[in-house]
Amino acid sequence: MNIANTSYINIMDRYKNLVDPGQQSLVSQPKPSEDNNIGVADFEELIGDKIDKLNQVQVQSDNLIQDFAAGNTQDLHQVMIAAEEARLSMELAVQIRNKAVEAYKELNNMQL
């Protein structure tokens, strides 16, 4: 197995750790309840959790880069993997935001 495959597997393993182990999809199924706002609260909590995890990945990457620049660590591979993971996570978040905004605009333009 070459270095590129190992790095890719490393990145994918780290990405899988970002997702909750028991969760099958990004959108959880609403729990039956008489309160009509329960789905909204679950969605807000889900989005908040994912943004917090995105922030943690970004901060971890920044810390590794600063440690490498200061000479505290010599492992360039780990620094590059963390930086790429942070970049991909941010790119995914931006694409999800773009799709959500696009869907919102499409719903607003619908005629009833």
Average pLDDT along the chain, 112 residues, taken 10 residues at a time = 57 62 48 60 88 95 94 91 95 95 93 78
Sign, CA dihedral 112-103-46-20, equals: positive
Q: Quick one: pLDDT at residue 78?
A: 93
Q: Quick one: pLDDT at residue 27?
A: 45
- Break the chain into its structural domains and give their ranges: 38-112
Q: Quick one: pLDDT at residue 94?
A: 95
Q: Are 11 and 88 in contact (CB under 8 A)?
A: yes
Q: Quick one: pLDDT at residue 73?
A: 86
Q: Quick one: pLDDT at residue 40?
A: 74
Predicted model pTM: 0.60
